[in-house]
Amino acid sequence: MKFFVDTANIDEIRDLADTGLLDGVTTNPSLIAKTGRNFLNVVAEICEVVKGPVSAEVAATDFETMLAEGRKLAGIADNIAVKVPLTRDGLKTCKVLSEGGTMVNVTLCFSANQAILAAKAGATFISPFVGRLDDLATDGMGLIDDICQIYANYPNFTTEVLVASVRSPMHIVDAARIGAHVATVPPAVLWSLFNHPLTDKGLAAFLSDWEKTGQSIL
């Protein structure tokens, strides 16, 4: 499974990139707005730090303007994945951009029906929002399972399932168990994957025993 981080905070991205475990980044207008910086500058800086796909979202809702924005975003760097909403105009934009060799991340997916359409439109990634479905007492992971099974039935579908709106480590584990290709995760949740009380306890015991020896490796 690939790990993307869902943030536009360049410092957080650098820290996670230093672990060697970061495969890409997803952003959206809300995350960019939190930085208080110029949208295009932020995206360009992220693309310099992370070599994997960096999702940058269009702001328009009509086909012509979405396509123009998408082409401008794609010109920032080779690793840009243009992010479009799962609407009629969004999928039209996806079709044109993907046929031109641009990666496209189709976002705001909430049904298997929509995921099928995105795959047929040539999306590089489909982003189902599991947390938002869970908030409505709907099984978000059930949707991931459905999409993965459907895609597996059709070898000509090359779209990767990118699990979005992740709220906890268990979302990541469940997505990996199902076979989703990518999870895009807030920094805090991604860092929490390292944590386990028995790891902390075991390390403390090792360090205590080592200190008693009075030795030094260096």
Could you tell me which of 76, 78, 9 has the C-alpha nearest to residue 44? 76
Q: Among the options 34, 51, 72, 83, which is catalytic?
A: 83
The answer to whether 83 is a known catalytic residue is yes
Could you tell me which of 177, 184, 109, 185 has the C-alpha nearest to residue 145? 177
Helix axes 63-74, 88-99, angle to 10 degrees: 40
Q: How far are the Cα atoms of 43, 46, 83, 106, 138 from residue 54, in angstroms, in the given order?
A: 8, 7, 9, 13, 29
| Active centre residues (catalytic) | 83
